[in-house]
Amino acid sequence: MVRHPAGDLARPARDGSPRWRGGVRLLRPWRFYLLAGAILAGLGCLDTVAELPELQQTPALGVVNLGASLTFILTGLLLLRERGQRGVAWALILAGTLRSLDFVDAWNTGPWPVYAVVFGAADRVFGAWALLRYPWPRLSRPQRIYLIALTSWMLTGRVMVVVTSTARSTGYSASSWWPSLLPDPGLNKLIDLILSCGEGIFAITLIAFFVMRLLETKGLDRIVIAPIMAAGLAAVVAASGTAVAQLFSSISTGPTGAYLVEGLVDVTVPLAFLVAVIQRALLARNLAELSAKIAIGADLGSVRYALRETLHDPTLEVLELPGSGSPASADGEARRRGGGPDAGVALVPAPADSRLVEVIRTDAGLPIAVVIADAALARYRGLFDAAVRTSGLALKNAQLQAQSARAELDHVRASRARIIEAGLAERRRLERDLHDGAQQHLLGLAARLTAAMAHTADPEATAAFRQARIELGEVLAKLRDLAHGIHPATLSQGGLSAALEEVAERLPLAIDLSIPPDRAAPGVEAAAYFVACEALSNAVKHANASSVTVTVRIGESRLELEIADDGIGGADPAGSGLANIVDRVSALDGETSIDSPPGSGTRILVRIPCA
């Protein structure tokens, strides 16, 4: 769905069938060039014939005139292949052809001098038309009025000049046909003066039009029309110069020098059109830059920036469509708003009428984002479409990459959770094996030793038994420490509350425990236990604390553990103890915040999700 100001520039329909009105564009290239060559040759011959006497009398002027005409015609022919510029192309061809026909009066016989005087400015009308029109689809109302007024003024004025003069008075030979209806030199002079003044006003108006256009246009339009407007200005100034020079010379001979200058200046007009055509073609080069720019990181912001730069439209906007991530929501939303196949656009705040809108879709046709640009870009449809396509590809890639990164992250998280779980289970099994196996065995042995002692009265044997029992006691204590280090049995049996009470009992400082008896997942409990032990040990070893509070809150979605001491503070978060805490917690996707201002104690808050 595209909104652009005029249908004239209709771009190809989505199905790809071209809708140009210009039949020329449908021609195969070789046929077109053959036809163009024929037209150029034909018009070239016509102009050469018209210019023949001029070429003999003032060869330089003749050559310049012919050259200017041919440049106009050639440029026009090339423009025929530009979309929507057929009118401008024909105007240039006509202007070029008529430009040399102006000098047909040099034949100095038959109706040619009269033709040259009456229609001598026709090429300028067509030139002005082309300059004002390109590359817009149509002229504005003031421009149309201007051109009609100019044409009328020129025709009327020149006819008046002709009828108030004779061939002789204008300097042409008597063999020329001249409709001298009201020969009056005084009147003729007056009319010529009025006509010239009028032309001066028209010239100034045209310059004003050019300046206004330059000021009004922006972005790509300005890049394209700036050379044309400059050439147009130069041509108008040159033509005005000629007109002034004509006032001081006879019509038939004319100011050769001024004509020569004007001819040379006029050549810049078609050249400027060529530059514009080339400029438009060169804009495609921006696409390569665009690809390079958004290849680095295709987030919405960088795509927006790249498109603005490439399309020279600072008002261009790229908006992400809500729910573009999930197909269901995007479709649902579109349906709810009662849209058709292009309803994605309806999700976007309605742009001003004169904005160009294009939706970027996934391969499955789901809208990802929408580009809203200046309507002027409709004239650079090819460039715009290509830029949007490039951005679309980049955005799609980014979306895919994000999806696969997310999937990979989920995978890593799941496997990490499994590894932690498996490690924990293994430790618990080890602890249980030690406790229920070796420890019970040794305890039974100790009981047997004691029982055996009852059966001997021998003091040496008794002493040996006693020693053995003491050593057995030491072995048992070591074994218990080992088992506890592998996994505290109290944690699996009594939960955090029991396990941390046990820890607190062994530490030489006042510990306030506020722990609910509720249970959490084994992995979460183990992590919280580890964190609490590490923090308590820090409080004893480094913080010089005299009291600590340990608070645990067990919610449905997460466990919160807070350990606050009244020690010296200033703990180093990068220190191994705190770093271990952070690692352990983040392994379960939890978060740790450590607050330890020097002199004000240390507060560690840990949140672990209970999924």
Partner 1 sequence: MRLAIADDSALFRNGLILLLEASGAQVTAQVSAGTELIACIQADPPDAVILDLRMPPTFTGEGISTAAQIRSRDADIGILVLSTFAETSYASQLLDAVGHGVGYLLKDNVTDADNLISQLDRIVSGETVIDPSIVRRLLQRKRRASRIDALNPRERDVLGRMAEGRSNVGIAQDLYLSPRTVEAHVTNVFAKLGLDQTDTDNNRIRAVLTFLRSAKE
Residues that bind partner 1 (CB under 8 A): 432, 435-436, 439-441, 443-455, 469, 473, 476-477, 480, 489-490, 492-494, 497-498, 501-502, 504-506, 508-513, 547
**Nearest distance from C-beta of residue 590 to partner 1, angstroms:** 26
Q: Which is nearer to partner 1, 230 or 445 (CB)?
A: 445
- Taking the least distance from each CB to partner 1, the nearer of 34 and 510 is 510
Q: How far is the CB of 442 from partner 1 (least distance, A)?
A: 9
Nearer to partner 1, 139 or 449 (CB): 449
Residue 587 C-beta: closest distance to partner 1, Å: 27
The nearest distance, CB 554 to partner 1, in angstroms, is 17
The Cα 62–Cα 606 span in angstroms is: 93
Please state the closest distance from residue 606 (CB atom) to partner 1, in A: 22
* CB-nearer residue toward partner 1: 91 or 563: 563
Nearer to partner 1, 102 or 562 (CB): 562
- Residue placing its CB nearer to partner 1 in the complex, 341 or 508: 508
| Residue 21 or 506 with smaller CB distance to partner 1 | 506
Which whole-number Å values give the CA distances from 433 to 459, 475, 481, 522, 551, in the listed order? 37, 16, 14, 18, 32
Query: Smallest gap, in angstroms, from Cβ of residue 409 to partner 1?
Result: 37
Nearest-angstrom CA–CA distance, 214 and 221: 9
**In angstroms, what is the minimal distance from the CB of 472 to partner 1?**
8
Q: What is the DSSP letter of 176?
A: B
**Of 1 and 446, which CB lies nearer to partner 1 in the complex structure?**
446
Nearer to partner 1, 39 or 442 (CB): 442
Sign of the torsion angle spanned by Cα atoms 94, 99, 100, 105:
positive
CA distance 121 to 514: 101
DSSP assignment of 109-153: SBTHHHHHHHHTTHHHHHHHHHHHHTTSSS--HHHHHHHHHHHHH
Catalogue the long-range contacts made by 127-131 (C-beta closer than 8 Å, 24 or more residues apart).
127/91, 127/92, 127/95, 127/232, 127/235, 127/266, 127/269, 128/206, 128/232, 129/91, 130/88, 130/91, 130/92, 130/95, 130/273, 131/210, 131/228, 131/229, 131/232, 131/269
Please check whether residue 374 is in contact with residue 315, taking contact to mean a CB–CB distance below 8 angstroms.
yes
**Min. distance of Cβ 424 from partner 1 in angstroms?**
16
Provide the minimum distance between the beta carbon of 599 and partner 1 in the complex, in angstroms, as a whole number: 21
Query: Which residue is listed with tokens 């997310």?
Result: 406
Q: Tell me the closest approach of the beta carbon of residue 444 to partner 1, in angstroms.
A: 4
Q: By C-alpha distance, which of 203, 211, 103, 88 is closest to 153?
A: 203
User: Residue 609: helix, strand or coil by DSSP?
Assistant: strand
For 478-489, letters b (16+ CB in 10 Å) and e give: ebeeebbebbbb
Of the pair 122, 500, the CB lying nearest partner 1 is at 500
Q: How far is CA 35 from CA 23, 40, 442, 499, 544, in A?
A: 12, 9, 111, 97, 99
**Which residues are within 8 A (CB) of 501 and not within 5 positions of it... i.e. 6 or more apart?**
513, 515
CA 446 from chain center: how many Å? Answer: 81
